[in-house]
A = this chain, B = another copy of it.
């Protein structure tokens, strides 16, 4: 478990308080599942994890909690090729794209200033200014033992 999970949960509590929202057992369980994992989890994944500590939790609660986090800037939502929404913790000022292993499904992150610069130049050629982008690389692992398999 990452060492900063506690910090992230604290930030979550501060966010809820700031919005005048309540800290409930369900929200706590969902946030722990979300921050305790490596990210890129689907709503179904989060539901299953959250139910380990709160078995009665419902899908709609996970949905609403993650929407809360996403709208509040604490989580980022992605739609990869599998068609399910996936979430990851939002890091302040950080940006990355994704490299998805077709062998095992694991999702790696990458950053490339060079690509970002080229994007800006392409947009500028059309007199446009980049507001956001989506960039996913789907690749096969060349090793038979697929080292990218998540430790989970």
Contact = CB atoms under 8 A, between A and B. Distances in A.
Interface in A112-149: 112, 114-115, 118-119, 122-123, 126-143, 147-148
A129 B134 contact: no
Interface string A79-120: 101010000000000000001011000001010101100110
B130 A138 contact: yes
A81 B134 contact: yes
A128 B101 CA distance: 8
A137 B127 contact: no
Q: How many copies does the complex hold?
A: 2
A108 B123 CA distance: 10
A137 B110 contact: no
A40 to B, nearest CB: 16
Nearest to A134: B136
Nearest to A125: B110
Contact of A128 (B131, B132, B136, B141): B141
A138 to B, nearest CB: 5
Nearest to A119: B137
Name the 4 nearest CB pairs between A and B, nearest first: A128-B139, A123-B139, A135-B135, A133-B137
9 contacts: A102-B131, A112-B122, A115-B118, A127-B142, A128-B140, A128-B141, A129-B139, A130-B138, A130-B139
